[in-house]
Structure 1
Amino acid sequence: MRRAKISIIGAGNVGSTTAHWCAAAELGDIVLVDIPGDFADMPRGKALDLMQASPVMGYDSSITGTNDYADTAGSDVVVVTAGIPRKPGMSRDDLLGTNAKIMGSVCEQIKATSPDAIVIVVSNPLDAMVQRAHQVTGFPAQRVLGQAGVLDTARYRTFLAMELGVSVEDVSALLMGGHGDTMVPLASCTSVGGIPVSQLIKADRLEEIIDRTRKGGAEIVGLLKTGSAYYAPAAATAQMVEAIVRDKKRLIPCAAYCDKEYGVGGFYVGVPVVLGSAGVERIVELELTDSEQAGFQKSVDAVQELVEVMAGLV
């Protein structure tokens, strides 16, 4: 039986750390891709460094660095981290337009070289970029999805565990909506060791933790000064890769294409899904409280606005 083939487009911090987590878990053979230019050898250097770690860490994954999409041919999973971060003086529309063009170029290559792949988009603005990936590849919606919910849930669980002084393993949580300030952590689906979080944390304090979760990425950017988070985003992406290549049937939040689910008509937004070897195998519809529904609708409206702006730019 052959190993799964996992290609990661973008060999920056998130892409190379995703390769690290995937290799350490022996999820498959990995191809790390970046563009030619002044740093053309960078993906090969990172791949070689990861290969040299394998005797110490005990993994047998093959890791290849390249500038050539031909090396990705026949991938089972393609992770897209390519894109530019927002820079001082750059408007949201500038970022959206530039990254939409990059995503379009990347996805044309994916379509040509790995027509049967499942695509996980990590690039920002996430909800618009996964919509773009779906449009350009033309793949069935279940095979194109976005990573954000796993990361945001991990941040939420971390802050709850820190607050209560308990193991992160005992904190179970779920959130929905777009990736950013409008995400909707669901208190009704949050528990610690099976105990509803409302019995352990007062409502006003829980709201403070939720607010910190929404701003989790910005908090790290502020601390790092240059760059943004990559350990947790990469770990979250690797968990999604594992769910697919090992057919785990994980029930986790992802940016998935909704066609009437939750009343959303024809675009991507963060919802709970069952993730397995076919990609998004089904969307799980929950009964939301009135406040959760209102928050989710606000998030959906923000995502729809972003998608409409992108359509005008590309």
Structure 2
Amino acid sequence: MDANQRIARIAAHLHPSNVQMEGGAILERGNCRAKGGAPGFKVAILGAAGGIGQPLAMLMKMNPLVSVLHLYDVVNAPGVTADISHMDTGAVVRGFLGQPQLDAALTGMDLVIIPAGVPRKPGMTRDDLFKINAGIVKTLCEGIARCCPNAIVNLISNPVNSTVPIAAEVFKKAGTYDPKRPLGVSKRST
């Protein structure tokens, strides 16, 4: 399945009455794929222990289209994983902590959401924020290019108008770039 088909399936979930998949079937849980043949999408959240990552992990765990949820962060990932795993849904949750476990967190994912990075603090310029978050996004996208090159990538890390082009350049350098895969998510787009 290519990126266009995955985007169509996600769009069908968001607007089920208007968008249909190939063959005329509206997006259903059974039309998705996941580990072990179970229906659903495999989703990784990179930066799952942060202020955006934690509630996002909860929302993804509650989504019936998600069957596998990987939570990655450099701190506190085991605690967030334990909390989220207590929710009674069908999604299997696994936690990954630190750089050595990044590849394991990403292998085989359909969707990668990146809220990782530092928040803008008082007195911090956008350039200061960019210098820190650019390196984080670059490292994470290199892992995506290695482990799940066909995944759709949602970037929430600020400044979004600068981190999306960084992701695109990393994917181009790795030979995995598809202009329809990296998506920037900001306050204005929600």
Same fold (TM over 0.5): yes
| AA partner of residue 72 (structure 2) | V
Aligned residue pairs: how many? 143
| Bigger Rg over Cα | 1
The offset of 1:117, in angstroms, is: 0.7
* Partner residue in 2 for 1:140: 178
* Partner residue in 2 for 1:163: none
- Percent of residue pairs bearing the same amino acid type: 34
| AA partner of residue 23 (structure 1) | K
| AA partner of residue 94 (structure 2) | T
Matches within 5 A, 1:210-221: none
The offset of 1:90, in angstroms, is: 2.2
Q: Distance in 2 between matches of 1:48 and 1:27?
A: 21
The offset of 1:127, in angstroms, is: 1.3
Corresponding residue to 1:16 among 49, 54, 57: 54
Matches within 5 A, 1:17-32: 17-28=55-66, 29-32=68-71
| AA partner of residue 42 (structure 2) | K
Contact persistence 1:15–1:81 (CA under 8 A): yes
Unaligned runs of 5+ in 1: 154-235, 237-314
Please report the RMSD computed on the Cα atoms of aligned residues, expressed in angstroms: 1.5
* Partner residue in 2 for 1:301: none
* Partner residue in 2 for 1:34: 73
TM-score by length of 1: 0.43
Q: Distance in 2 between matches of 1:92 and 1:115?
A: 29
Matches within 5 A, 1:106-125: 106-125=140-159
TM-score by length of 2: 0.70
Q: Distance in 1 between matches of 2:132 and 2:57?
A: 25
Pairing 1:152–2:182 present: no
Q: Distance in 1 between matches of 2:160 and 2:59?
A: 21
The offset of 1:52, in angstroms, is: 1.1
Contact persistence 2:61–2:87 (CA under 8 A): no
CA distances 1:265-313 after superposition (whole Å, capped 9, x unpaired): xxxxxxxxxxxxxxxxxxxxxxxxxxxxxxxxxxxxxxxxxxxxxxxxx
Contact persistence 1:16–1:32 (CA under 8 A): no
Change in Cα spacing, 1:47 to 1:108, as seen in structure 2 (3 Å) is same
Q: Distance in 1 between matches of 2:51 and 2:94?
A: 16
Segments ≥4 residues shifted beyond 4 Å: none
